[in-house]
Structure 1
Amino acid sequence: MENYYLSLVCIGCVWLVASCNVSTSRKQTDLVPKDSVGQLSGREMPVQEVPMLLLNKLGELYGDNLPGVVGFSVESKNCPDFIGGIYINDRDTLVIQIKGDSATVRQRLEKELQSKEFIVEPCKTYTQKDLFAINDKLVERWRALENTSVMRNVTGAGVGTHDIEIHLIVNTPEKRREFREQVMDSPAFRFTGVETPVENITVGVNDTLGVAIRPEYTVYSTESDSVKFILYNRSGKIIHCGERHFITYEDVGGVWRELPINGNFVDIGYWVADDDYREFTAFLYPKIHSNPPGRYRFFYEVTVGDHREGARLKMMAEFRLSDNKKELEQATKTPLPVF
């Protein structure tokens, strides 16, 4: 019924934000005088190259990389105790987090790196070394509890420069407390995610240009974990689509809001041949947040014809959730579209 191709895999589990992120906010024409980086280079260079050269130099001094591999990590077994972390800031400058006397450490680093083009940042809270150690414990807890409801609310966690970001589907005080009590607690944690569902008045089409989308049933239980949808193709061309989608619902005040879901998708590209269809499932997460009875809308983008230049359509399928047992018993499958 369908074909697929893997374009890019981006799985949201536990991700580690690398210690160094190169910023490209400055123009490539910004140059640093060659004498400001000592003997690292005998030419003028874009500012973006300077921190990378310094990192390579640190790798030569303290790294334990395999032959031919350059760079530096604070997790290197040869990393000195006074270096607690390292990153590149938004001004394309290398920042070295240090423990101890900053003046003494800076003097030593200037001599070893043969450069002054870096910033020494005294550690006031957590170093990256500290954060990596905390994150290792978090990963252990994650694996032990991965099938529990508290962990299904977590879409990812990442080590930053000064804290560990934990992203929740529902980021309310109650959910944060639940995480701290049942999973792990640390002052290093910074929670992100939606606390109150945002307003979203997006609309789409359910039938156009020979393309139609329908829910399998017109009504589902408020306790349903998922809803199945069917995309029909009678366009005369191939349809290109993926996994990404979102859902909105109408609240008691008549305002359409976005339903909190896991927004991390495996980015697989599918194609649906003419006179064919594709079935797919969207999850509703009733064990993370209550889903009130009422109207819901499922949104899904497709491209008709050439995946670069074809017509892009925002398809929308409306369905209902109900807590009425009799209504649910009488639920029927959605009629097939008429072309």
Structure 2
Amino acid sequence: MRVNTLIWFVLLVLTGCGGRQMRGIDSSDTLVVKSSPVEKQATGMDMLYRLYKVYGISGDLASDPYCPPFLKGVYYANGMLVFQVEGDTVAIRQTLEQKTGSSAFHLELTGDSLFSQKDLIVLQRKVRQRLALPENTDVNANVVGYGVGAHHLSINLIVNTSESQQAFRKKIIDSPALQFSGGRMDEPCTKEGISGTLGVHLKTTSPSFSVQSETVTFILSNESGTNIHYGADYSLAYEREGQWYHLPINPNVISIGYVLCPGKTEKLTAHLYPDVHPNNPGRYRYFKEITIGDNREKILLMAEFRLED
């Protein structure tokens, strides 16, 4: 699932804790600023509310057409509101103080190597367009998310190696604003699980699968006499020269809970992503965390399998 992250401040501005509508504020009122980060951020939300009201902004500040041209983005640093701006900072500060009724903010002059959120949104659109091209299917398969931060465009990869970064920069876009994250192929795995306990068992549907397999499947059985609970997440490991390493997978999962009743079985599926990291023949491990009983005791289950030519 691709996650495209934009910063939607309007949701923060229009609602307070618990979804309560915030009080009306007149732009001529002077805000009282407290010292704690939480109090500073609450003041920042009031300031943004005033700014949105004055300019008629209804969406994300960095991309809304009614946003004044000198404003390039906004974020919080230690609770303090930071405006990314371009132009005469003296005049801009005077304007913002008048519109927000406060001086409790920082200005950040963007340009050169300091990217604003508006710059990053433009880059994000180009990335989205180029990833969708048929000739970039191989790179797109490795991308699980990209989003705008305060100063970088975050690119989340399944496999985050220098080679995969180079492929992205060559085929999609090359910019110093890119910030990559994701799994590597050399992260040691020290996890140890068990195949069964207390009447709960995990096993593969086959002792081996093809190296070209996109998925492998497992059977989770419950003969414990009580319910077991688990989520959609799992992890994989592979053996290389006698050492176990994490096999990178898509970290984005649906946050949902499952219940397996006593006497029931469930088929589980793990994705191997052979188009992202060609899987070599050898030993692999599948890890699945469950909880059992009313006290929700955590148990890490493990099933081992092989990939073969």
TM range (shorter): 0.7 to 0.9
Tell me, what secondary structure is at the counterpart of 1:47?
helix
Number of the residue aligned with 1:326? none
How far residue 42 of structure 1 moved from its aligned partner, in angstroms, is 6.7
Percent identical = 38
Aligned partner letter, 1:310: R
How far residue 189 of structure 1 moved from its aligned partner, in angstroms, is 1.7
For residues 42-96 of structure 1, give each alpha carbon's deviation from its aligned partner in whole angstroms, at most 9, with x where no partner exists: 796932311111111111112333xxxxx8622222111111111111x210100
Number of the residue aligned with 2:104? 117
Change in Cα spacing, 1:72 to 1:219, as seen in structure 2 (3 Å) is: closer
Number of the residue aligned with 1:289? 277
How far residue 209 of structure 1 moved from its aligned partner, in angstroms, is 0.4
Change in Cα spacing, 1:128 to 1:44, as seen in structure 2 (3 Å) is: closer
Q: Using the alignment, how far apart are the partners of 2:206 and 2:260 within structure 1?
A: 22
Change in Cα spacing, 1:43 to 1:127, as seen in structure 2 (3 Å) is: closer
How far residue 285 of structure 1 moved from its aligned partner, in angstroms, is 1.3
2:44 paired with 1:39: no
Aligned partner letter, 2:238: Y
Q: Using the alignment, how far apart are the partners of 2:136 and 2:254 within structure 1?
A: 19
Tell me, what secondary structure is at the counterpart of 2:224?
coil
Higher relative contact order (CA 8 A, sep 6+): 1
Q: Using the alignment, how far apart are the partners of 2:303 and 2:195 within structure 1?
A: 6
Number of the residue aligned with 1:259? 247
Q: Does structure 2 retain, via aligned residues, the 8 Å contact 1:164–1:190?
A: yes
Tell me, what secondary structure is at the counterpart of 2:126?
helix
Q: Does structure 1 retain, via aligned residues, the 8 Å contact 2:33–2:43?
A: no
Number of the residue aligned with 2:303? 317
Q: Using the alignment, how far apart are the partners of 1:42 and 1:259 within structure 2?
A: 52
RMSD of Structure 2 on Structure 1 (CA): 2.4
Number of the residue aligned with 1:7? none
2:50 paired with 1:57: yes
2:210 paired with 1:221: yes
Change in Cα spacing, 1:248 to 1:175, as seen in structure 2 (3 Å) is: same
2:3 paired with 1:14: yes
Q: How many residues align?
A: 289
Q: Does structure 1 retain, via aligned residues, the 8 Å contact 2:41–2:81?
A: no
Query: Scaled by the length of structure 1, what TM-score is found?
Result: 0.79
1:272 to 231, 253, 260: 260
Aligned partner letter, 1:320: R
Number of the residue aligned with 1:198? 187
How far residue 261 of structure 1 moved from its aligned partner, in angstroms, is 0.9
Number of the residue aligned with 2:93? 106
Q: Does structure 1 retain, via aligned residues, the 8 Å contact 2:185–2:245?
A: no
Q: Using the alignment, how far apart are the partners of 2:211 and 2:161 within structure 1?
A: 21
How far residue 18 of structure 1 moved from its aligned partner, in angstroms, is 1.2
Q: Using the alignment, how far apart are the partners of 2:98 and 2:163 within structure 1?
A: 51
Tell me, what secondary structure is at the counterpart of 1:180?
helix
Tell me, what secondary structure is at the counterpart of 2:256?
strand
Number of the residue aligned with 2:66? 78
Change in Cα spacing, 1:145 to 1:267, as seen in structure 2 (3 Å) is: farther
Query: Structure 2 stretches of 5 or more lacking a match?
Result: 13-26
- Superposition pairs for residues 133-212 of structure 1, below 5 Å? 133-145=122-134, 148-212=137-201
Change in Cα spacing, 1:144 to 1:50, as seen in structure 2 (3 Å) is: same
